[in-house]
Structures are given as structure tokens and as C-alpha cells.
Structure 1
Amino acid sequence: MPLRNDPDAFERRIDRKLNASCDGIDMDVPARQVSSETVYTGAVFQVDDAVIALKDRQGAEHTIRRQILRHAPCVVMLVHDMSCDRYLIEREYRAGSDLFAYGLPAGLMDEGESVLDAALRELAEETGVVPDRNAMGIDHVGDFYSSEGMSDELAHIMVLHLGSFTQTERHFDADEHVESAWITWSDLTALHITSSNSMLAVQHEALRRLIAQHADDDNKPTLFA
């Protein structure tokens, strides 16, 4: 079996390379939380002030202090209408960038909610699009931390390929204002999207389209043997 097909063996090999630059901290030993205090609680997230112990190769502990933004996991989806080869785009105000930013349907997961259920709920609430689950393909792009140096927010990113869907009324929160529209692939790739999570989905779809195009080209008849 190739080493890369064995994730544990592959990571051990990479870790051995990294250990060559070790400054004494043993990164094979899990970090230990010494203390944690919630210093801010808001409507969407809380901030914890934590002291964390890292162990060195001699067994001694070294403490570091970090502020951690605690945030519910979220879903991000690029929605593809296969019948017209078009994509769903949104625009809304984003406080972090202070922009009316282009992006993709996204939202926070409710406690106990599955990733797919959260994605379809957010999609219906923000855009009114309700897919037929029996005529839908899903590309799971991956699960990524938005900013793992300071936040535990985990983004579940996917591409939804819709065979059929219905359009219903949108339902926004009181302080939520979102525009949405279907656009072509060329228009989507020309947009200046500033969200890294959205761009991961777009780049994943770009690769899928490229592979599909190459497959189509290979299957076209040629004039020369």
C-alpha cells in the first residue's frame, strides 16, 4: 500500500521531518488546558482567555496564553443549477471586512443538526431555493477551520449540484439582509470574492469543471488516427 494511502504512516513521516527543527517542545504530546475564563459573551460567539501547557522533551511544561473565539460550526455551499449551468451568488454586509461582500449561501449550524440539514435550511432561508434531495449531487469539499490560530469555528464546505428544485419565500433574521441571484460560471469566476471559505468551494468546482472538460475533449472524435 502506498504510504500516502495510510494517513497515520504518512503523517508520522512528515512529523519526523518537522521534528528536525524542534525547539524543545514535544509536539507528539497533547497540549493541556491549565485554565480558561470566558471574558466576553455575545449573540454569535464568546471569547475565552486560556492558559495552555505544552510539554518539552524533558517532561517540563511551558505555558502559553491565548484568547480563543468560540463559535458554532457553519456550512458554506456553492449551489449549481445543472439544468442551466448557473450558480447562486449572494451579497450582504460583512462587519469584519466592512464591505457589502459577494459570497455563497452560508450559515451557522443549530445544535444537534446534521451538516446537510443545516445547509439546506440555510439555503431555503436565505434564497428560497428548496432542492429535491432525490435529484441532487453533493461534492464534499472539506471541513476547515476559518482561523485556527484564534477561533474554533469549523466550516463544512460543499458544492450542491441541483437536478430540480422549488422556489419558496425567504425567511431572514431581524437583522439579516441578503441579496441573491443566479449567474453564469464565467460571471462567478470574475467576481471579487473575499471569503476564503467561499473561494475554497469555487476553486473545487473549477477543478471539477476542468477535469470534466478534459474528459469531454478526450472523447471527441478526431480526423486523424
Structure 2
Amino acid sequence: MDMDRAYDESATPAALDRTLNNSSDGVDMDAPVSVLSRSTVYHGAVFDVEDMRLALATANGGNIEIRRQVMRHAPCVVMLVHDEERDRYLLEREYRVGSDCFAYGLPAGLMDDGEDIEPAALRELAEETGVAPASNADVRFDHVGAFYSSEGMSDELAHIMVIHLRHWRSVPRHFDPDEHVESAWVDWNTLRSVRITASNSFIAIQHEEFRRITQR
């Protein structure tokens, strides 16, 4: 194995895989993974937990059995919302049990079954903040990408975007019974100065920072 061998960035993905294979411990990462068993060990209101036994193929024709637990979670939308006329951004604060604090963040929420990304984002935005585009012509989506929140333990896929609003209107907010969210418009410097601990929110802010720098 040659761990010091440099990878040529102009090479193909297949060449990258061959370079990575130099450090293999025998697992064939070009072969599919087989599911030996799976069972739901927890069923909750927001997510389920599945216990899985998996077989990784090896280069010599055998397999290695591993065990994993995965959180089955609905996909979500994460939105950095930009008021273009005033050059302000929506900032939220709510209690987050994972970090055990009232955390700053961005509007976000779960997608319903069969729901498309953009309608889900506008629905969640209205429900959480009372903000809605004045018309279809007054909203522009800058899709940052879809990222797994923690791919080693969860299948939650976050669709991250920046929503630019030319004009917007206020609509009634609709919270779930146990949902308590504060929101306010802040300027760019204030947004960048607060401590954002959610990685998906930080990705959206970094994407917007790059846009602001390149469009100066």
C-alpha cells in the first residue's frame, strides 16, 4: 500500500477509486452490500430506528459481517431566506434537544410524503415565520444541494437552499403543539456574528457568503 501516492485531480472517478483501493483491508468497495437481516427496534413520532446486519464483499470472494443501527427519518428542507429589497435575512431561535440549548438557526422542517422540495420549503417558511412570497414572480430559489445530516447513523436528507424574496407578505403562523420558534429579520453582519451550530444551516450561510463575495 502506498499512502503517499498523490492523486491526480484531473483523473476520473474510477482512477480515484483505484487510488483509494491502495489502502484497502480486503473489502471490495465496488461490490454491493447485502442485507442479512433488519428489524425496527424503535418507532417514534419523528423517526424510527432500524437494527441491521450487513455483509460486505471481500476481494477474495468472501464477506465480512457488520452491524449498524440507522435512524429512518423523513427528508427535510433548510432555508436561508433573503429579503432582497432590505438586504435582510431570517434568523430563528428555538430549543434543540441535541445541543441542549436555545439555538440560533434557519427555517427548516420535514417534507410530507410525496411533497416536492420548493412547495415544502414555502409551506414550512409560512408555518414557522409567517413569511410568504407576494407572488410566484417574487421568489427565486438558489438550490445549494442535498446533504445527509449524519450519514453514519441516519438517512435524513436535507435539501438546502437560499430563498431570495423580492417582495413578501405576512401570513398566519401555524406551529405544531410542541413547537416554539422565534424569528426575526437581521442584517448580514448580524447573521454572520451569531453562533450557528447546525451544520445544514452553516452550509447555506457559507453558500450565500460566496455569492455575496463574487457579486460585489
Using the size of structure 1 for normalisation, the TM-score is: 0.90
C-alpha distance after superposition, 1:188-212 (max 9, x if no partner): 0000010000000000000000001
Aligned to 1:181: 184
Percent of aligned pairs with the same residue? 61
Residue range with higher mean Cα deviation, 184-193 or 133-142: 133-142
Q: Does 1:151 align with 2:174?
A: no
C-alpha distance after superposition, 1:91-124 (max 9, x if no partner): 0000100010000000000000001111000000
Aligned to 2:5: none
Aligned to 1:101: 103
Q: Does 1:136 align with 2:139?
A: yes
Using the size of structure 2 for normalisation, the TM-score is: 0.94
User: Letter of the aligned partner of 2:146 in structure 1?
Assistant: D
Q: Which runs of 5+ in 1 are unaligned?
A: 214-225
| 4+ long deviations beyond 4 Å | none
Q: Cα offset for 1:4?
A: 8.0
Q: 2:77 aligns with which of 75, 78, 91?
A: 75
Distance 1:17 1:211 in 2: 34
Q: Cα offset for 1:133?
A: 2.2
Distance 1:52 1:19 in 2: 21
Q: Cα offset for 1:10?
A: 2.8
Q: Does 1:37 align with 2:23?
A: no
In terms of fraction of residues, the more helix-rich structure is: 1
- Following superposition of structure 1 onto structure 2, how do residues 165-180 of structure 1 map, counting pairs within 5 Å? 165-180=168-183
Aligned to 2:163: 160
Tell me, what secondary structure is at the counterpart of 1:182? Answer: strand
